[in-house]
Structure 1
C-alpha cells in the first residue's frame, strides 16, 4: 500500500512539474499592419462641409459617381435650411477640394453610413488630410463614431486648436 501511495505522490509531483513547465500559448496574431488601400478620384460636387460626390479614376468603379462622407467630422447642414456656418464650411471644402480636382480617398473599418454614403478620409492634391483641415479651420465639430477612429487624436487636436483660437463656427455660432 505504501508503495502505491509513493507512486501516486511521485506521479502527482512529476505531472505538476510538466504542467508548470509547458510553453506559454502563442500571442494572438496582430492586425495587419499593411497600409490601407487608397484610391484616386475626381471631385464632381460639394454637397456641404462634410459631404462630396466623387468619381474614382481607376479600379472597378472608375467613372461611377459616389457620395462620400468625410470621416470624423460633422459640419453644419445646408439643407433643408442652412445652419450657422454651413455656407462658409461648404465654401471652405470647395476650396480644399475644388470640382474637377483629383483627391486620394481611404476607407477605415466601417465603409458606409446609414445613408449609404461611403465613409472616407480624403487628401487633396497638396497632400492635406482634408478631414483634419476642416476641423482645424473651425468648419466642423469632431464626430467620433467607432470603429472609424484611425485619426481620432489628430482630429481632436485640430478641433481644439480651432476652438481655442475662436476660428470658424467656434467664433460665430
Structure 2
C-alpha cells in the first residue's frame, strides 16, 4: 500500500461507498496498485485469498441477472447453482453486457450501488468473516463483515461453489 501523506488530498470516494453507508454497513476502503494474482491482492490487503470475494454477474434470462458471490479460491459449481435457482440454463454475460447491467466494469463489480439491485446468491463458505468486495473502481476494495453485508443484500446463502482447480 502507498505511504500515508498527511498533506495529500483524500482520495475520491469509491462508487460503492454511498450504498454501504446507506445500508448502515461499517467498511474500510483499501486502495492499492494493480495486481497480477489473487495471492498478490490478498497480501496487499492483509487477508487470505479465500477472503477476496468475486462478484460475478450471471444471466438467467432476457434482462434477468443476479450477482453470485464466490471466494477467490473457489469457482461457481454450475450444477449446484442451477439446482439452487431451479433453472436448467445460466450464462455469464460478456463484459459490455455486465457493465450495462451493473454500471461497473469487470474487476470492480459489487452488488452495492449497482444500477439495479439484482438478487444475490452467496456461497455458504463466505459467512462468518471479514471479506473484501469490489468497490466499483479499479484499485479499490472494501473490507466488510460478511454476515452484515449478506444480510443487507438479502443474499440467499447456499453451497454453490467448488475449490478452484
Is the structural similarity TM-score above 0.5? no
Give me the TM-score of the superposition, normalised by structure 1: 0.29
Q: Choose between structure 1 and 2: higher helix proportion.
A: 1
Structure possessing the higher radius of gyration over alpha carbons: 1
The structure whose RCO (Cα within 8 Å, separation 6+) is larger is 2
